[in-house]
Amino acid sequence: MKYILETKSLTKSFGGVHAVDHLSINIPQGIITGLVGPNGSGKTTLVNVLSGFSGEDEGSIVFSGVDRKKILPWENQAYGITRTFQQIRLFDQMSVLDNILVVLTERSPLAALFERHGAYHLKIAEDILKRIDLHEKKSHHAGDLSYGQRKLLEMGRVLAMNSNIILLDEPFAGLFPEMVKKIEGIILELKKEGKTIVLVEHNMAIIRNLCDHLIVMDAGKLLAEGHPEKILAEKSVLEAYLGE
């Protein structure tokens, strides 16, 4: 199994509390890895550190042989890394189409806002909106979309970035079953394209349905990792995560 991302003794503390505590993990390339654990186990902190939005205190992170310390957050796209957030981050006063267009460039976000997009970028953006069932909303402001549609648009931006490593922080939170199915489909399409996906999720049915590999955290530490069915049957995981 080939690994595309690894951490070595990664540590991040807040007020003396280790949110990530000497964590050493390996993320396999080209599959979906689930990241689970009880509330406060350090999952989002880990995603923040992996994506460069929060610096590590100790240890190291390596993406395809490149040390994370050499990558600034705004350089993620150039290195083939993207992420989503628990709280949806869109340009609410821009159109749905423009929210896709703005990430179809390697320029800075500010420069991209004022770029005159040609037919090439427009076709890609419209194809993505058709793919996520938002083409009919392309002229609407992103802020006018429903919560589920905003989640879809966020996934559309992920598609537009065409990154190799995708960190998804609870993309299914608060969604109705129909929208869950749509986003599951997008994630599976990304896997078919050879993307590496790290999925933070609480719903074990979704984890079992999507994930090929599972990492369980507890109190910032690695509790278990391996195939989801095997790991979710372990007593230590049931005790820590399911309270059994």
Region of residue 64 (phi > 0: left; psi between -120 and 50: alpha; otherwise: beta) = left
What CATH number is given for 3-80+163-242 in this structure?
3.40.50.300
Backbone angle region of 14, left / alpha / beta, with phi > 0 → left and psi within -120 to 50 → alpha: beta
Per-residue pLDDT tens over the stretch 22-73: 999 999 999 999 999 988 899 999 999 999 999 899 999 999 888 888 788 8
Structure tokens that stand for 227 in this block = 């195939």
Statement: residue 244 has pLDDT above 60 = no
pLDDT value, residue 243: 55
Instruction: Write the pLDDT tens digit of every residue in 137-181.
Output: 999 999 999 999 999 999 999 999 999 999 999 999 999 999 999
Q: Where are the domains of the chain?
A: 3-80+163-242, 95-161
Distance CA 137, CA 129 (A): 9
Q: Which of 76-80, 106-110, 236-240 comes out lowest in average pLDDT?
A: 106-110
99 pLDDT above the threshold of 70: yes
**pTM, entire model:** 0.90
Q: What is the average pLDDT across 216-225?
A: 93
What share of the chain has pLDDT > 70, as a percent?
A: 93
DSSP 31: S
